[in-house]
Structure 1
Amino acid sequence: MEARLSLFGNPVAGKFMRHVNSAGKVLTDSALPAATQELVKIRASQINGCGFCTDMHTKDATAAGETADRLNLIAVWREAKVFTEAERAALELTEQGTRIADAAGGVTDEAWENAAKHYDEDQLAALVSLIALINAYNRLNVIVRQPAGDYRPGMFG
């Protein structure tokens, strides 16, 4: 299976992707814990059915030392005992921020306040930005039907 459009091979899409990727670097370098960042990327990608991003971020998390137990339980984080309260707050915010059309008003005050208990303003800004960014990546990859399974950590830089 091949993608409908090369996001990096097309001049317009490629220029756009380079800008999006540079924005992502700002978040990678933020004070939001790296493990939390990967959990957020994986959970949003699962919800959005983005095989490419799920593949990429699961492998990146593994390469960074994340355990198989935690990776296997992201989709059922509410029932799993392997996540911290801060990670749970980030995952709840991710789910609500990804499924904004499912609930009138988008993210609940309760989810926001819970995240704010665990993350300072800069970390919250990074978290919100990361949720928006991974949702954008998911949509790009799902629209062009970017195939999953061939990603290897480090292949993009």
Structure 2
Amino acid sequence: MDARLNYFASPTAAKALKHLMSAGKTLKDSPLAAATQELVALRVSQINGCAVCIDMHTKEAAAAGEAPVRLNLVAAWREATVFTEAERAALELAEQGTRVADAAGGVSDEVWARAAKHFDEEQLTALVVLVSFMNTANRLNIIAQQPAGDYEVGQFH
């Protein structure tokens, strides 16, 4: 499978992606726990069906020491006992923030309150930006049909 576009061959796209990747680096350095970031990135990518991001975030999380059972259960986090209450709140917010068309008003007050119970304002901001960032990255990859499977840990860091 070949990608429809090579974003890096376009001066405009390459410049935009440079800024997008810089934003991703800023998020990595935020006070939101790295494990939470990878779980959220993986879940958003699963919902959107972005194979290349699922590949990337599964490999990055595993390389950072994430337990295989947790990676395998992200898609079914509600029924899994391996996630903390904070991670569950982040995953719930990520799902509602990704599926905004499914619910009038986007993220419910109840979901927001659960997240706010576990994360301070800086962490919540990072979480919201991460969800938005992942949705953007997913859409770029899906539209251009970026192939998955060849990602190497650290490739975009």
TM-score normalised by the chain length of structure 1: 0.98
Q: How does 1:1-157 map to 2 (within 5 A)?
A: 1-157=1-157
Cα distance in 2 for residues equivalent to 1:154 and 1:30 = 18
Residue identity (%): 66
Q: Offset of 1:26 from its aligned partner?
A: 1.2
1:62-84 deviations in Å (ceiling 9; x for gaps): 00000100000000000000000
Cα distance in 2 for residues equivalent to 1:61 and 1:68 = 9
Cα distance in 2 for residues equivalent to 1:20 and 1:156 = 11
Gaps of 5+ in 1: none
1:74-132 deviations in Å (ceiling 9; x for gaps): 00000000000000000000000000000001000000000000000000000000000
Cα distance in 2 for residues equivalent to 1:134 and 1:9 = 22
Alignment root-mean-square deviation, CA: 0.7
Q: Offset of 1:57 from its aligned partner?
A: 0.3
Which 4+ residue blocks in structure 1 deviate beyond 2 angstroms? none
TM-score normalised by the chain length of structure 2: 0.98
* Paired positions, count: 157
Helix, strand or coil at the partner of 1:8: helix
Cα distance in 2 for residues equivalent to 1:9 and 1:155 = 18
**Which structure dedicates a bigger proportion of its chain to helix?**
2
